[in-house]
Structure 1
Amino acid sequence: MRYNAYAKMLTSAGKQTAYWRIAAVLGISFLVTVLVTPICIGLIGGLSPNIRAFSQTETGFEIGTSQGGLFVILASFALLLVATVVLAKRFADRDLRDITGPAPQLRTQFIVTFKWMLGLTVLMILVPSPNLVNEMQGQMQIGAWLMWMPLAMTGLAVQVTAEEMFFRGYLQTQLIAATRSYSKGMVLAALLFGIGHVSTEIEGIAAVFPVIWAVLFGLVAGDLTARSGTLGPAIAVHFINNAMALLIAPPMGQLSGFGLWTRDIDLNTAYSDPWIICFEGLILLITWLTARIALKR
């Protein structure tokens, strides 16, 4: 299939297609993500317990359980965002709009996709995932939760924009240009996105599910980017997805600082349950189809 709307982004990616350049960007971005970012998070957390991202408790290791700590984690993706812009210019001679698509078109596509995703989210809340109600525990009063929402959404916007700019805006387009294949470029970028979601907190076969899900999400976001020619739809879908995961009922002790409720759930058990896996896969399929309908409106 040829994605005509994608032509401008691919043309800019075609200026520098050497694999060593892509590998260099991957290597430097990896260092930013696994070395520089944790150091910065740790230094910031040392200023006050209220913005400490990581903590050791009697029951285990917790991450992002306070509002300040979770905001620091989300905002730290600004380092990846800046690195993407700088590295894309240095190694691929690509400007900001070369990796995001035209600004007016991006805004329009983001807004229309966001509206449709918001409607889908309301429906999903009315049809909760298996055992969700039994697992939920109140964490904040609605007034306090709403007060934190501007900060939470700002952090989420930074996080999802950074990931989409790197994986879909830069990496996917560079791989498509280098391999001269839409399918190879999209799959390789999605695989790398999935590898980035490997978790040390989940063990055994359960650890495979988040990676597979992230690969599938990467394909969905990659397809939407190619169909639209901007990052707008992918950012909208990514934002709504992460908002549902972090702001409504996140797992207790894991990125739960902004949750209205929390879920007392064993992720090792949940991610080994075929019913939950099928349910999440169905939601992702519906999300992709809904976003495609939105783009045709």
Structure 2
Amino acid sequence: MYIEQLKNNKDSLLKYLPFSLAFFIFMAFNLIASSLAETNTQEALDLMVEQMGKNMTLVMVTAPLAFLLLLLLLWVRFFHGQSIRSLTTARPKTDWKRILFSFALWSLFLIISTGISYYINPSDYEINFKPVPFIFLIIISIIFVPLQTSFEEYFFRGYLMQGLGLATKTRWFPLVFTSVMFGLIHVSNPEVLQLGPSIMIFYIGTGFFLGIITLMDDGMELALGFHAANNVMLSLLVTSKTSALQSEALLIDISDSSNSLTEIILQVFLIFPILLFIFAKKYGWNDWKRKLTQFN
């Protein structure tokens, strides 16, 4: 089992605190600093885009988390003496087919849904295809964006979930805690300023979805693939002035935010359950209550 495979380790909760506290203190400091600054997050992002361009801004936004991913993996390997494989999955080796399937499934959905949205409401978008910047965007997205999303997965669905599971001897507590905290670290994103607190339903709901598929599948492979597909495809397909991932995407969303709550509710309470059904059927998931709540 994903968490229980480490129950013979001698690590206590205290050993998980240094890296976790350092990360949350860093995030809290950034939040406080941005709230006290003369410019808000959106204005600071706009300034970066003006000075460096969208592609370089995307690098600057994703590179710190790419560095943190390397730091986390080294910390786990040498401070905890834990293999990266056991942080990733309970299987004998990482299942790359699962990562690719999840990536392809969610990428296909985003491509189709974006195409339908553009066909129905073309006035909501501006075409932004610039061949040379877009080629560089593809390179940046392939290299940096999956590293950024992988840090979030390895930290929340991996490191924190395993540490809290071992400490509390439960599965439900790490699922709830990591999902809520995953949502809260996005509170300073420009989207929250523009769309309001309702978007936290999406961030926290996404955290629960990713946590559920990790626990049910005994590994992070599906979560890694989904999260990478989400950010890579969004950086390539659609950007907006309120997006945390500014890019030279194919389309610029210029619509108002009046339908945002409806879209959030549909994705969290309709699309995510459909994905859970697909994964459950493909990978033979069962005994949901035990796998999501009980420590074995």
TM-score by length of 1: 0.75
**C-alpha displacement of 1:182:** 1.1
Count of residues in correspondence between the two structures: 270
Cα distance in 2 between the residues matched to 1:195 and 1:62: 28
Residue aligned with 1:137, SS? strand
Partner of 2:20: 26
Task: Note the alpha carbon deviations across 1:48-85, whole angstroms, 9 max, x for none.
Answer: xxxxx84439xxx9898511121222122122212322
Structure 2 CA distance for aligned equivalents of residues 54 and 202 of structure 1:
12
Amino acid at match of 2:230: N
**Cα distance in 2 for residues equivalent to 1:178 and 1:17:** 9
Corresponding position of 2:163: 174
Amino acid at match of 1:73: V
Q: How does 1:144-293 map to 2 (within 5 A)?
A: 144-199=133-188, 201=190, 206-252=195-241, 254=243, 255-265=245-255, 269=258, 271=260, 273=261, 275-281=262-268, 282-293=270-281
Match of 1:125 among 114, 131, 138: 114
Q: Is the 8 A contact 2:85 2:94 kept in 1?
A: no
Provide closer, same or farther for how the CA distance between residues 133 and 259 of structure 1 changes in structure 2, counting only shifts above 3 A: same
1:106 equivalent in structure 2: 95
Identity %: 17
Equivalent-residue separation in structure 1 for 2:51 and 2:186 (angstroms): 15
Distance apart, 1:235 and its partner CA: 0.8
Evaluate the alpha carbon distance shift between residue 290 and residue 202 of structure 1 in structure 2; reply closer, same or farther with a 3 A threshold. Answer: same
Cα offset, 1:12, TM superposition: 1.9
CA shift in 2, pair 1:129/1:189, >3 Å: farther
CA distance in 1, matches of 2:197, 2:120: 22
Q: Which runs of 5+ in 1 are unaligned?
A: 1-6, 37-52
Aligned counterparts, 1:54-73, within 5 A: 54-56=45-47, 66-73=54-61
Q: Write the deviation string for residues 19-41 of structure 1: whole angstroms up to 9, x where unpaired.
A: 333333221123555669xxxxx
Q: Deviations over 1:112-140 (max 9, x none)?
A: 22233333334323432898632211222
Question: Alignment partner of 1:252: what SS?
Answer: coil
What is the alpha-carbon distance in structure 2 between the residues aligned to residue 174 and residue 99 of structure 1? Answer: 10
Deviation at 1:88, TM superposition (A): 3.0
Conserved? CA contact 1:13–1:94, under 8 Å: no
Q: Distance in 2 between matches of 1:200 and 1:111?
A: 28
| Alignment check: 8 A CA contact 1:78 1:158 kept | yes
Letter in 1 for 2:59: F
For 1:250 and 1:126, locate their aligned partners in 2 and report how far apart those are by CA, in whole Å. Answer: 14
Contact 1:16-1:92 at 8 Å conserved across structures: no
Q: CA RMSD in A?
A: 3.5
- Cα gap change, 1:253 to 1:276, in 2 (>3 Å): closer
Matches of 2:92 and 2:146, distance apart in 1: 16
1:187-206, CA deviations, whole angstroms, 9 ceiling, x for partnerless residues? 11111111111126466894
How big is each residue's C-alpha offset from its partner over 1:271-295, in whole Å with a ceiling of 9 and x where there is no partner? 4x4x233233233333333344443
Distance 1:97 1:237 in 2: 19
- Residue 219 to residue 116, structure 1, CA distance change in 2 (3 Å): same
Counterpart AA for 2:277: L
Q: Name the aligned partner's letter for residue 94 of structure 1.
A: Q
